Amino acid sequence: MSDIRERCWWLREAMAHPEFVGEPAPALRGDTNADVLIIGGGYTGLWTAWQLKRTAPGIDVVVLERDECGFGPSGRNGGFINGYYDHAETLLELFGADGARAIMAAGARSVRDLAAWMAEHAVDAWFRQDGYIGVASSAAQEGAWRGAITAATTIGIGDRYRELGAAEVAGFARSPVFNGGYFVADGGNVQPARLARGLRRVCMEAGVRLHEHTPVSAFRSGPPAEARTPSGAVRAGQAVLGIGAWAGGWRQFRRSIVTRASFMAITAPAPDRLAEIGWTSGVGICDMRATLRYLRTTPDGRIALGVGGERGAWSGRIDDRFDRDEAGTQHAVDAIHRFFPSFRDVPIEGRWGGPIDVAGTHTPYAGTLPGGNVHYALGYTGNGVGPSHLFGRILAARALGIENELTRLPFVDMQPKRFPPEPLRSIGVAIANEATVRRDDALDAGRRPGRLIDFVARLPRRLGYHLGP
Ligand SMILES: Cc1cc2nc3c(=O)[nH]c(=O)nc-3n(C[C@H](O)[C@H](O)[C@H](O)COP(=O)(O)OP(=O)(O)OC[C@H]3O[C@@H](n4cnc5c(N)ncnc54)[C@H](O)[C@@H]3O)c2cc1C
């Protein structure tokens, strides 16, 4: 059994406060009926539940969660709340200027709506809307953001980005390895576990019937949809799947996503060291590696840093190695020390990881299974904190049979870029990923990557995936 509640500092911190522990949500016992059944108690499932209750207060909603709400990626992530500014190039290519503009506007609105929701429901998730910077953490990454800015200019929102010289980046945070970068004001960060647990409380107060420690072991679309668990079953006219990376193990989604891990580490509080490097605002930072590094601070002066593109899952099977991985979390620790050498003697107080549902287009999508009563959102590819709020609204509208401007966004009902069948998928993704990490590491060290490594790392993009360099 995973000890994620202790390993993940966000969960440890949140669960030390009774308001984030909340009321118990006992496992399902026996059979029951509902109007809407939701599988998964992460942000997607809980936002959908809350939107359903907000739109139709009398509706009967049951949420089934295999663990506890927020103990999956929703309570363990980096806490960056961004819209789609870093996806401008891909969105323009996939959906044209009008489609990309509509998605980016909806993503930006979700950031604002989330902030208002936290204030309205007194969820203190340490929200800071100081924006974020993308930086080149090696000379090779310099200018890697220009494609996004050019695409955004075509879309008509180029003014949301401010390009930064190295001296301006240093004005946000001084690092010996940072070069130039860009700034986007429209973004922020939260303590992710506080947000997930706060959302759990608000859903329960709204009358959502929540059952934790209730894994769904068999599911039938129906209608009615039916979820079987070890201790009972739920039947409902409509169902929503908010199962994140676990979808990779479901027959319906096996070819639509691949599962990768992201690992994080967090330091002890060191506000004096942060002051020395000038990182005193709440601005989040990400670099331009294909296997991204993302980092932010906490109100008590810690640095939390995550690394992307780590371990994969065979056939979508997620095990405890996604929660703990000494090598993966060490990459996060090493990156903290490389970026900020003065943190080398600051203790590390947490190391953990979690699974990521990677879409071939690097953008999430929502849809409805044949039969018309089971709706899903998938493929956040490591960018789901803000977007899951938007997808909660889309999925709630779908379950209520409402068509609106959000259900007409072009990533609703899009055909995902399919991955090859097993064993090609797991082997191919593992090889391409290893090459991408080695390519990034070589460039970080100021070396040219070998030609074979470079070729293999770039292969997914040549094959039409929006993944890798
Ligand atoms: C280390 C890490 C860092 C990240 N950093 C960021 C970031 O800074 N910003 C950002 O935007 N995104 C980030 N992400 C991604 C973000 O966390 C996710 O996109 C988001 O949490 C997805 O929410 P979800 O509800 O769709 O999925 P999840 O949070 O994965 O929730 C799915 C839930 O379904 C449950 N479940 C699965 N199968 C079953 C079943 N059979 N029966 C019952 N329940 C089931 C799981 O237990 C889980 O709780 C990060 C992810 C990781 C792992």
Beta bridge partners of 37: 62, 239
Ligand 1 atom index nearest CA of 263: 1
**Which CA distances in Å does 308 have to 195, 262, 315?**
22, 5, 19
| Per-state percent for the chain, helix, strand, coil, to nearest 5 | 40, 20, 40
What are the pLDDT tens digits along the chain (469 aa)? Answer: 468 888 999 999 999 999 999 999 999 999 999 999 999 999 999 999 999 999 999 999 999 999 999 999 999 999 999 999 999 999 999 999 999 999 999 999 999 999 999 999 999 999 999 999 999 999 999 999 999 999 999 999 999 999 999 999 999 999 999 999 999 999 999 999 999 999 999 999 999 999 999 999 999 998 999 999 999 999 999 999 999 999 999 999 999 999 999 999 999 999 999 999 999 999 999 999 999 999 999 999 999 999 987 777 777 788 888 888 889 999 999 999 999 999 999 999 999 999 999 999 999 999 999 999 999 999 999 999 999 999 999 999 999 999 999 999 999 999 999 999 999 998 999 999 999 999 999 999 999 999 999 999 999 999 999 999 9
Distance (Å, rounded) from C-alpha 446 to C-alpha 332? Answer: 20
Would you state the structure tokens that stand for residue 424, as one six-digit string? 């090609």
Q: Determine if ligand 1 sits within 6 Å of the CB of residue 45.
A: yes
What distance in Å separates the CA atoms of residue 288 and residue 294, rounded to the nearest whole number?
Answer: 10
Q: What angle do CA 86, 87, 92 make, to 5 degrees?
A: 135
**Residue 411 near residue 364 (C-beta atoms within 8 A):** yes
Substitution site in 51, 77, 82, 111 for ligand 1 pocket (most atoms within 8 Å of beta carbon) = 77
Instruction: Decide whether any atom of ligand 1 lies within 6 Å of the 34 Cβ.
Output: no
Residue ID of nearest Cα to ligand 1 atom 32: 243
**Nearest protein Cα to ligand 1, atom 31:** 42
- Ligand 1 neighbour 78 (Cβ under 6 A): yes
- Which of ligand 1's atoms lies nearest the C-alpha of 357? 19
Calculate the alpha carbon distances from 420 to 256, 355, 456 in Å: 9, 20, 16
Half-sphere exposure of 227 (CA within 13 A, CB side): 28
Pairing of strands 218-220, 225-229: antiparallel
Q: In the structure encoding, which two tokens stand for residue 325, read together?
A: 């991985």
244: region left, alpha or beta (phi > 0 left; psi from -120 to 50 alpha): left
Q: Which two tokens stand for residue 405?
A: 């401007």
Residue 360 CB less than 6 A away from ligand 1: no
Q: Quick one: how far is CA 224 from the chain centroid? A: 31
Q: Is 201 helix (H, G, I), strand (E, B) or coil?
A: helix
pTM score above 0.85: yes
